[in-house]
Amino acid sequence: MASSIYKVIELVGTSTESWEEAARGAVERASKSLRDLRVAEVVELDMQITDGKIEAYRAKVKVSFKFEDNQ
In a domain, 32, yes or no: yes
- Residue-range definition of the domain harbouring residue 42: 6-66
Successive 10-residue mean pLDDT values, the chain, 71 residues: 83 97 97 91 97 97 85 57
CATH number at residue 25: 3.30.1660.10
What is the reported pLDDT for 66? 86
* Contact (CB, 8 A) for 61 and 41: yes
Is the residue at 1 inside a domain?
Answer: no
CA-based nearest residue to 23, from 48, 71, 58, 55: 58
Quick check: is 59 in a domain? yes
A 10 A CB-CB count for 26 gives 23
Q: How many distinct structural domains can be found in the chain?
A: 1
71 domain-assigned: no
Q: How many CA atoms lie less than 13 Å away from 32 in the CB half-sphere?
A: 5
